[in-house]
């Protein structure tokens, strides 16, 4: 068994060595969905054209996501002299410059470079580890993201991949579970149940068949942790699943992944095929006598299918509707058999824990929350992206050090964590340590790791309304409090944003929220009032301003604001007149324009189109 | 297995390990309320009404799907639980058509309830067909909820009436999922499921297909298990709850499924399966077709004989005598009998005996297939048949036909003696068969006796058997015939065949009943049998509909081109309209008119057959007859301050009154009343012609809580002096308002809407007692003094034809929407 693996590893290491120390010029492009969305494939195509016309020998690799979304598309140039330089925000304009200067003229273009990777330093360019966004991070789950080629299993093996599995095979399943229990790894899907305990329950439940399910049905708005892991390092998830299967004693595994993640599905399929080919999956894995099969199930896009009982129903071919727990899936799950359901990130942690030991993992984090957590940092922050930080880091560090603070000199207002099930944490609480207990205490939740930074231009009532709208649409309709309660919450919130509310609405919101929280069937319903309750808790004055003064401080709520044209500034360029979809703007060319507030639908297009130099169109509090 | 001991509300309860908390509690006499749960279905846990507190578990648990465990300590009715249960019920009510639940006048209304709506969408409890047995309503009563406390949401989902047997109004659905679960349990592949997400989530078929397309077998289980009135049996729904149920069998096919008939006032109003279990599964035949056949208006109810001067209705004894006299002339093979497909073995036996021993003939034919036509021998001249089974060619040779039949046919028209037949299911104590009818055995025995023949004692026993068919003997499992006329017993049959309905495809449905083509008797079946319906409604081109629109659920504005009527219209008058030549004459108050365009506008509420025909029309269609304006207009003069109150369809009618009163220099205060906010309409138009507009809703969801009466009292309290009140609305509403104005001493004129036929004072159907005088609404009214009218008598008269109105409702979906 060990010899067979050593042989594989030796081959993989040679390939990895060649990849890193090649004499060839190489171009690595971040081609996860985030990169592709910012135009990585276009950049890649024009790069191919350029090198063809300029007759440069160059290898092109598509790698995963390094996490610096704000700088996508990211291109890394590896020169034959082992210098590796990363360029951010590459587009078709600066690409020829990079090719000409960096590759042909050997000028590293310090002005364009983001950082260097690898060992060779270049004066004037920071090393990747020195970047503020990365130096506070602790990358366990994302250990390979953006570094290896995700469709090449050898890269993964060479970076200690699958050695944890081999290590696990040398000890008993009970020891594997003990190791995971000792590490105090908790479910990264949001609820934070101890993974080792879950495995133990499933192991101790007697049954002929058991199942392992990887929950990759990531549906929170603004969250993309699981997608990034699957696209950048699918093997770490597979390895985690195989170890879990060995520990629990099952032969069947499913990965339930959203069909909206086509790239993740594609890369997973490639990874699974490679793992079968090399003998990490299938019968008699690595000669250990242990069998394990993985099947991919693509979800149809219902948010609630991330809830484990709904997910099971969906795999069974039924409508994705949650059912009551207990019995918990670990006792009676898929096809009424014991089933372990863990999140992508949880599984990706497992190989590292087995490899490095529970103690190393447990050293990170706070007393009750160990290890690291991946967050999708989004919203009004300079450096948006995917980050992995040790538990216990403060929100301030995350937002200001890693995130680089708020753009355009705006003031931080709040941080929304946990997606639609989470809440808003106000700027005053930025010293809060990020772990399961602290976030819950503050009225939010850890969730699967969405973190949206809100600045002063965000209306807090509108944010609550936005999340409610989402959960309202995604409720499965099974239980009354969630299905009908969310409609009422949404109606109350909408009335507040429209200025048609009375102060009693706040009490009504709170009362209704309590019923929904306590009486709903599943996690979706139980947590859907969180955005409302947490915003009322911290921003009650803003709610009251909407109701009493009909004043939206952030100038977001359409019914409480109006657009007008500054007579002194308007140059009569006619741009706003042309773009207005409802002909609310009047005015001749070269003459001052005006907006008819009654006709105006507050689409804001005039504001966008008004030249920045002029900035005559403004929005303000509704005077009527 | 060992018993489990647990504590429920301090009571120590013993339970089986496979029991849920709700079951254990029920056995211990502790009733936990629920909606989605059903004892014959697996638990669902959706309604959250059955929440309880279990020691050591976080939050609340649903008792319907929590299994008992040793040492559990459960609380089922702490104040906290009750308050949350109430909150959930309120949430439910806020998304259900339930304004009546919180209406001040609900008890009085239930008592007098003038003319229940018998068609259209269910917009409130008192127009709901399920109101007597609604589980949600029971729960509301139990928890004493008289205020919803939340805005009422009405989803306005179109009523589904696309199949001939079921109405599906998903506005009433609480998504308890019982129908989905029962469909899943009974059929291999369910035909309905949850569709959509979020607030759009509901029950439906795949791709919104019609039930006739999905392969639905119309077993009706979904209808019978529905918690609310969302799903209903179109034929039975308005009859309400049954008085008794009677066990019987279906004789449409040879499986003979057993099931219950629902009976009210000795009338079959529907059927239901004995349980929702697989072994009691029934098909469309027993569930929908048979009960409707029993009560079919086409049924033969008397005995007839053919004489030289025509067909004559005769009493039973005369018919028997006539038959015997006719048969005396025929002997041997000149005579034949035909017994129907699926007959009881005793019936076959008696007929065989009669043929052989009395008539000395060998020709006793047993029909083998449901649609067989028997070709008789050339020499056969006389025949007794139990259905429409004789080949048309053979009919020509026959001299005497004695028919024992349930429905008329070509054969029964030419019969010399036609006996109205009692079906085996109708015998016994529970049902009353049509007058002057009897069973096959009884008829044959009597004819034999009349002919002087002796039938042996076995047959006498058979007669008794047939007459007591449904009582004791049936339960001892008597023998049934099989197709060969043999001797197989029920036990044998049950071993050969599945116990429940074998119908796996609606195409296998028997097409014939006693030789009659079912679709001819039951027009509704045409949809399922995919037979095109022939349009026989002739349309005239005179009164064209210019515009038609459903403004709020069930209320339609119809604008009709009628220049001559428009010229003469005055406020308060009405018209009489007929959709086609065969329609009922229905009076409608004129809601508006336009002399320039020559149009008259009506506001029509869909309440019964005729109004449904009316609202089924669309712009471009024409009315056959349109007469008016009729009735006396409101006398327009200067009163001072006038209150115009309108409710339901009356809101439309007060608009011209307001306008003319305003023109005459009055101060006009308008009050609009509706059950709930989603039934309010025309507020803006009425506001235009009023100095003040008040809106009252019965559930308080908009404006004043209450009705016009409450609003007038409020006005009086505010110091408003009112000189005159005009009210248009339903009789009940006008009675309430008249009572409150009587107390305040304000003269009140009410627009009555009694049953009317000609509208010109000839028939007298519309008479009402006003003080000590009798007045005709059509010529003396319609506005009469509300303080003097005998309201109770009026409402009694309005309810006089309730049963006939229900019976006349069309089953065929082609004239529904």
pLDDT per position as a tens digit, B87-123: 999 999 999 988 888 888 888 888 876 656 677 788 8
Nearest Cα of chain A lies from the Cα of B83 at a distance, in angstroms, of: 9
The span from the CA of A481 to the CA of A522, in Å, is 11
ipTM of the complex: 0.90
- The residue among B809 and A211 whose pLDDT is bigger is A211
Provide the token pair at B607: 């309440």
CA A68 to chain centre: 12
- Please count the other Cβ atoms lying within 10 Å of the Cβ belonging to residue B39: 9
CA A10 to chain centre: 34
CA angle A383, A384, A388 (to 5 degrees): 95
Q: Which of B36, B42, B46, B53 to mutate to test the interface with A (most CBs of A within 10 A)?
A: B46
- What is the radius of gyration, based on Cα positions, of chain B? 31
Environment class of A21 (CB within 10 Å of its CB; exposed 0-12, middle 13-18, buried 19+) = exposed
Q: What's the pLDDT band for B456 if we cut at 50, 70, 90?
A: low
Answer for the pair B501, B282: CB distance below 8 angstroms, yes or no: yes
Assess whether pLDDT exceeds 90 at residue A313.
yes
For B195-205, what is the mean pLDDT? 91
**What is the structure's pLDDT at B499?**
47
The span from the CA of A389 to the CA of A434, in Å, is 9
Partnered with residue B364 across adjacent β-strands are B337
Q: What's the pLDDT band for B583 if we cut at 50, 70, 90?
A: confident
In terms of CA atoms, which chain B residue is nearest residue A303? Answer: B197
Answer for the pair B395, B378: CB distance below 8 angstroms, yes or no: no
- The residue among B519 and B814 whose pLDDT is bigger is B519
Q: What is the mean pLDDT of chain A?
A: 91
Q: What's the pLDDT band for B464 if we cut at 50, 70, 90?
A: low
For A332-348, what is the mean pLDDT? 94
- Please count the other Cβ atoms lying within 10 Å of the Cβ belonging to residue A482: 31
Minimal Cβ distance to B88: which of A326, A481, A491: A481
From chain A, the residues in CB contact with B189 under 8 A are none
Answer for the pair A242, A280: CB distance below 8 angstroms, yes or no: yes
Assess whether pLDDT exceeds 60 at residue B206.
yes
For A515-526, what is the mean pLDDT? 92
In order of A324, B34, B38, the CA distances from B227 in angstroms are 21, 10, 10
**What is the structure's pLDDT at B584?**
87
For B128-151, what is the mean pLDDT? 88
Pairing mode, if any, of strands B11-15 and B4-8?
Answer: antiparallel
The span from the CA of A51 to the CA of A95, in Å, is 11
* pLDDT tens track for A118-139: 778 888 888 888 888 888 888 9
Find the helix or strand (DSSP H, E) in which A342 lies. strand A339-343
CA A357 to chain centre: 27
Assess whether pLDDT exceeds 80 at residue B603.
yes
Q: Which of B87, B98, B183 to mutate to test the interface with A (most CBs of A within 10 A)?
A: B87
Nearest Cα of chain B lies from the Cα of A455 at a distance, in angstroms, of: 30
What is the DSSP track for B65-96? SPBP-TT-EEES--HHHHHHHHHHHHHHHHTS
Assess whether pLDDT exceeds 70 at residue B269.
yes
For B4-24, what is the mean pLDDT? 91
Answer for the pair B47, B69: CB distance below 8 angstroms, yes or no: no
Environment class of B29 (CB within 10 Å of its CB; exposed 0-12, middle 13-18, buried 19+) = exposed
Whether residue A488 and residue B94 make contact (CB cut-off 8 A), yes or no, is yes
**What is the structure's pLDDT at B118?**
76
Q: What is the mean pLDDT of chain B?
A: 84
Assess whether pLDDT exceeds 50 at residue B475.
no
From chain A, the residues in CB contact with B177 under 8 A are 478
Provide the token pair at B154: 């009405």
Total-model pTM: 0.89
Whether residue B198 and residue A473 make contact (CB cut-off 8 A), yes or no, is yes
Phi, psi of A582 (to 5 degrees): -115, 15
**What is the structure's pLDDT at B130?**
87
Nearest Cα of chain B lies from the Cα of A331 at a distance, in angstroms, of: 14
In order of A43, A54, A91, A109, the CA distances from A104 in angstroms are 18, 9, 19, 12
Assess whether pLDDT exceeds 50 at residue B817.
no
In order of A212, A247, B87, B119, B492, the CA distances from A203 in angstroms are 11, 7, 41, 60, 52
Assess whether pLDDT exceeds 80 at residue B813.
no
Environment class of B259 (CB within 10 Å of its CB; exposed 0-12, middle 13-18, buried 19+) = buried
From chain B, the residues in CB contact with A485 under 8 A are 91
Provide the token pair at A12: 């993989």
Whether residue B91 and residue A480 make contact (CB cut-off 8 A), yes or no, is yes
The span from the CA of B791 to the CA of B797, in Å, is 10
Q: What's the pLDDT band for B428 if we cut at 50, 70, 90?
A: low
| Chain A residues bordering chain B (beta-carbon distance below 8 Å) | 302, 304, 319, 321, 323-324, 326, 472-481, 483-488, 491, 511-512, 515, 518-521
The arrangement of strands across the sheet holding A339-343 comes to A293-299, A252-258, A211-216, A339-343
The span from the CA of B210 to the CA of B201, in Å, is 18
For A585-605, what is the mean pLDDT? 90
* pLDDT tens track for A469-490: 999 999 999 999 999 999 999 9
Whether residue A480 and residue B92 make contact (CB cut-off 8 A), yes or no, is yes
- For B297-306, b/e burial (b = at least 16 CB within 10 A) is eebbebbbbb
For A337-364, what is the mean pLDDT? 93
Name the percent of chain B lying above pLDDT 70. Answer: 90
**What is the structure's pLDDT at B253?**
76
The span from the CA of A526 to the CA of B620, in Å, is 53
Assess whether pLDDT exceeds 80 at residue B753.
yes
Whether residue A321 and residue B87 make contact (CB cut-off 8 A), yes or no, is no
Assess whether pLDDT exceeds 50 at residue A48.
yes
For A60-76, what is the mean pLDDT? 87
| Segments in B723-764 forming alpha helices (H) | 731-744
**What is the structure's pLDDT at B487?**
42
Q: What's the pLDDT band for B816 if we cut at 50, 70, 90?
A: very low
Q: For A502-511, B361-370, B671-680, which range has the lowest pLDDT when averaged over its residues?
A: B361-370
The span from the CA of A448 to the CA of A469, in Å, is 20
Whether omega for the bond prior to residue A33 falls within 30 degrees of 0, making it cis, is: no
**What is the structure's pLDDT at B725?**
93
CA B243 to chain centre: 16
Q: Is B45 on the interface with A (CB under 8 A)?
A: yes
* pLDDT tens track for B613-661: 888 888 888 888 898 899 888 888 899 999 999 988 888 888 999 999 9
Whether residue A479 and residue B95 make contact (CB cut-off 8 A), yes or no, is no
Q: What's the pLDDT band for B538 if we cut at 50, 70, 90?
A: low
**What is the structure's pLDDT at B542?**
74
Q: Is B78 on the interface with A (CB under 8 A)?
A: no
For A287-314, what is the mean pLDDT? 92
**What is the structure's pLDDT at A184?**
93
Partnered with residue B671 across adjacent β-strands are B645, B694
Answer for the pair A144, A156: CB distance below 8 angstroms, yes or no: yes
**What is the structure's pLDDT at A194?**
94
| CB-side neighbour CA atoms (13 Å) of B755 | 17
**What is the structure's pLDDT at B430?**
57
**What is the structure's pLDDT at A61?**
87
Q: Is B48 on the interface with A (CB under 8 A)?
A: yes
Nearest Cα of chain B lies from the Cα of A501 at a distance, in angstroms, of: 13
DSSP state of A150: T
* pLDDT tens track for B43-91: 999 999 999 999 988 889 999 999 999 999 999 999 999 999 999 999 9
Pairing mode, if any, of strands B599-605 and B555-561?
Answer: antiparallel
- The residue among A158 and B510 whose pLDDT is bigger is A158
Show Cβ contacts of residue B753 under 8 Å, excluding neighbours closer than 6 positions: B587, B589, B730, B731, B777, B782, B798
The span from the CA of B87 to the CA of B77, in Å, is 14
Q: What's the pLDDT band for B486 if we cut at 50, 70, 90?
A: very low
């Amino acid at each position: 068994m060990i010899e067979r693996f050593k042989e594989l590893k030796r081959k993989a290491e040679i390939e990895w060595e060649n990849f890193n120390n090649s004499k060839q010029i190489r171009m690595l492009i971040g081609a996860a969905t985030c990169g592709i969305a910012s135009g990585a494939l276009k950049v890649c195509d024009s790069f191919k054209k350029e090198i063809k016309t300029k007759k440069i020998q160059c290898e092109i690799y598509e790698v995963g996501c390094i996490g610096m979304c704000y700088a996508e598309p990211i291109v890394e140039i590896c020169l034959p002299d082992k210098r590796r330089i990363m360029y951010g925000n590459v587009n078709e304009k600066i690409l020829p410059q990079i090719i000409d200067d960096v590759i042909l003229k050997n000028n590293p273009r310090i002005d364009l470079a983001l950082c260097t990777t690898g060992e060779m330093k270049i004066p004037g360019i920071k090393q990747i580890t020195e970047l503020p966004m990365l130096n506070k991070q602790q990358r366990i789950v994302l250990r390979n993201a953006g570094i290896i080629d995700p469709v090449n299993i050898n890269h993964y093996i060479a970076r200690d991949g699958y050695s944890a599995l081999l290590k696990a095979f040398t000890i008993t399943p009970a020891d594997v579970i003990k190791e995971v229990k000792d590490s105090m790894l908790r479910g990264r899907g949001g609820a934070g149940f101890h993974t080792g305990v879950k495995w133990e329950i499933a192991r101790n439940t007697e049954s002929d068949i058991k199942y392992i399910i990887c929950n990759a049905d990531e549906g929170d708005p603004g969250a993309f942790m699981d997608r990034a892991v699957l696209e950048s390092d699918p093997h770490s998830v597979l390895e985690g699943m195989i170890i879990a299967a060995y520990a629990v004693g099952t032969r069947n595994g499913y990965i339930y992944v959203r069909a909206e993640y086509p790239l993740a599905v594609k890369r997973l399929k490639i990874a699974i095929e490679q793992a079968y080919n090399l003998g990490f999956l299938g019968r008699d894995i690595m000669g250990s006598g242990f069998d394990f099969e993985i099947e991919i199930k693509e979800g149809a896009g219902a948010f609630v299918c991330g809830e484990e009982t709904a997910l099971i129903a969906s795999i069974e071919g039924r409508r994705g509707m949650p059912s009551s727990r207990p019995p918990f899936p670990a006792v009676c799950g898929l096809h009424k058999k014991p089933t372990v359901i863990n999140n992508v990130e949880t599984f990706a942690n497992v190989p590292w824990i087995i490899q490095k030991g529970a103690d190393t993992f447990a050293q990170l984090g706070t007393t009750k929350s160990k290890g690291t957590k991946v967050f999708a940092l989004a919203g009004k922050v300079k450096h948006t992206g995917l980050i992995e930080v040790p538990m216990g880091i403060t929100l301030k560090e995350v937002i200001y050090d890693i995130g680089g603070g708020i753009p355009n000199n705006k003031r931080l207002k709040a941080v929304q964590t946990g997606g639609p099930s989470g809440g808003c944490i106000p700027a005053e609480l930025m010293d809060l340590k990020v772990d399961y207990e602290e976030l819950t205490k503050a009225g939010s939740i850890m969730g699967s790791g969405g973190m949206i930074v809100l600045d002063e231009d965000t209306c807090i009532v509108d944010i609550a309304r936005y999340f409610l709208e989402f959960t309202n649409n995604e409720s499965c309709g099974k239980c009354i409090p969630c299905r009908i309660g969310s409609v009422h919450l949404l109606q109350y919130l909408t009335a507040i944003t429209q200025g048609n509310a009375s102060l009693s609405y706040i009490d009504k919101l709170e009362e209704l929220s309590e019923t929904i929280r306590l009486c709903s069937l599943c996690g979706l319903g139980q947590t859907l009032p969180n955005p409302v309750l947490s915003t009322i808790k911290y921003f009650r004055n803003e709610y009251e301003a909407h109701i009493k003064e009909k004043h939206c401080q952030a100038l977001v709520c359409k019914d409480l604001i109006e657009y007008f044209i500054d007579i002194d500034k308007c140059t009569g360029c006619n741009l706003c007149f042309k773009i207005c979809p409802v002909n609310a703007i009047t005015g001749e060319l070269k003459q001052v324009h005006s907006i008819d507030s009654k006709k105006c639908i507050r689409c804001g297009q005039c504001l966008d189109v008004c030249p920045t130099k002029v900035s005559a169109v403004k929005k303000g509090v509704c005077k009527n | 297995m060992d018993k489990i001991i647990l504590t429920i509300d301090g009571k120590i309860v013993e339970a089986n390990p496979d029991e849920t908390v709700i079951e254990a509690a029920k056995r211990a006499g502790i009733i936990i309320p629920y909606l989605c749960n059903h004892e014959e279905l697996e638990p669902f846990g959706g309604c959250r009404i059955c929440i309880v507190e279990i020691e050591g578990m976080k939050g609340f648990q649903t008792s319907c799907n929590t299994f008992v465990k040793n040492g559990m300590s459960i609380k089922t009715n702490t104040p906290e639980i009750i308050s949350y249960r109430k909150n959930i019920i309120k949430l439910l009510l806020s998304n259900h058509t339930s304004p009546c639940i919180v209406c001040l006048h609900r008890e009085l209304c239930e008592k007098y309830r003038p003319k229940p709506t018998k068609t259209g969408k269910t917009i409130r409890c008192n127009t709901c067909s399920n109101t007597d047995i609604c589980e949600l309503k029971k729960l509301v009563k139990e928890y004493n909820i008289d205020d919803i406390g939340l805005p009422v949401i009405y989803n306005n989902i179109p009523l589904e009436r696309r199949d001939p047997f079921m109405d599906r109004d998903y506005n009433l659905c609480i998504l308890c999922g019982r129908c989905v679960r029962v469909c899943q349990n009974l059929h291999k592949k369910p035909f309905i499921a949850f569709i959509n997400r979020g607030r759009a989530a509901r029950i439906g078929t795949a791709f919104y297909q019609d039930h006739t397309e999905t392969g639905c077998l119309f077993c009706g289980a979904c209808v019978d298990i529905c918690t609310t009135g969302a799903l209903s049996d179109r034929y039975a729904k308005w009859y309400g709850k049954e008085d008794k149920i009677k066990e019987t069998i279906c004789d449409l096919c040879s499986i003979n499924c057993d099931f219950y008939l629902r009976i009210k006032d000795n009338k079959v109003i529907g059927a239901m399966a004995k349980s929702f279990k697989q072994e009691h599964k029934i098909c469309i035949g027993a569930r929908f077709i048979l009960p409707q056949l029993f009560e079919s208006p086409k049924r033969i109810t008397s005995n007839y004989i053919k004489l030289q001067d025509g067909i004559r209705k005769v009493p039973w004894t005369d018919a028997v005598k006539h038959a015997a006299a006719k048969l005396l002339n025929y002997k041997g093979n000149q005579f034949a009998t035909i017994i129907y497909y699926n007959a009881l073995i005793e019936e076959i036996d008696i007929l065989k005996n009669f043929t052989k021993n009395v008539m000395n003939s060998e020709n006793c034919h047993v029909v083998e297939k449901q649609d067989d036509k028997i070709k008789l021998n050339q020499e056969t001249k006389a025949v007794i048949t139990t259905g429409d089974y004789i080949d048309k060619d053979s009919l020509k040779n026959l001299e005497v036909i004695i028919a024992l039949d349930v429905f008329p046919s070509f054969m029964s028209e030419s019969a010399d003696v036609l006996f109205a037949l009692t079906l085996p299911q109708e015998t016994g104590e529970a049902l009353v068969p049509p007058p002057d009818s009897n069973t096959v055995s009884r008829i044959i025995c009597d004819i034999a006796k009349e002919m002087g023949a002796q039938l042996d004692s076995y047959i006498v026993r058979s007669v008794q058997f047939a007459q007591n068919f449904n009582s004791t003997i049936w339960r001892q499992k008597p023998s049934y015939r099989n197709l060969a006329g043999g001797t197989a017993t029920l036990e044998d049959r049950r071993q050969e065949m599945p116990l429940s309905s074998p119908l796996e495809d609606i195409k296998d449905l028997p097409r014939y009943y006693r030789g009659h083509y079912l679709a001819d008797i039951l027009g509704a079946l045409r949809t399922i049998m995919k037979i095109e319906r022939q349009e026989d409604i002739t349309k005239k081109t005179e009164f064209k509909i210019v515009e038609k629109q459903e403004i709020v659920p069930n209320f339609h504005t119809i604008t009709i081109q009628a220049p001559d009527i428009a010229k003469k219209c005055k406020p308060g008058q009405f018209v009489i309209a007929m959709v086609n030549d065969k329609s009922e004459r229905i009076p409608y108050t004129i809601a508006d008119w336009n002399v320039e365009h020559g149009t008259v506008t009506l506001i029509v509420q869909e309440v019964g057959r005729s109004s449904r025909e009316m609202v089924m029309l669309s712009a471009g269609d024409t009315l056959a007859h349109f007469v008016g304006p009729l009735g006396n207009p409101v006398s327009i003069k200067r009163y001072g301050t006038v209150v115009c109150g309108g409710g339901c369809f009356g809101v439309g009618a007060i608009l011209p009154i307001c306008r003319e009163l305003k023109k005459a220099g009055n101060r006009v205060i308008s009050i609009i009343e509706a059950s709930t906010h989603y039934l309010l309409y025309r507020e803006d138009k009425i506001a235009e012609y009023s100095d003040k507009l008040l809106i009252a809703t019965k559930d308080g969801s908009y404006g004043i809580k209450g009705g016009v009466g409450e609003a007038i009292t409020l006005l009086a309290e505010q110091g408003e002096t009112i000189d005159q009140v005009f009210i248009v609305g339903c009789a009940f509403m006008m009675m309430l308002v008249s009572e409150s104005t009587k107390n305040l001493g304000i003269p009140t004129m009410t627009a009555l809407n009694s049953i009317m036929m000609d509208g010109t004072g000839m028939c007298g159907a519309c008479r009402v007692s006003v003080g000590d005088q009798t007045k005709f609404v059509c010529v003396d009214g319609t506005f009469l003094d509300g303080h003097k009218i005998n309201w109770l008598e009026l409402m009694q008269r309005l309810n006089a034809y309730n049963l006939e109105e229900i019976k006349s409702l069309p089953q065929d979906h082609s004239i529904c929407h």
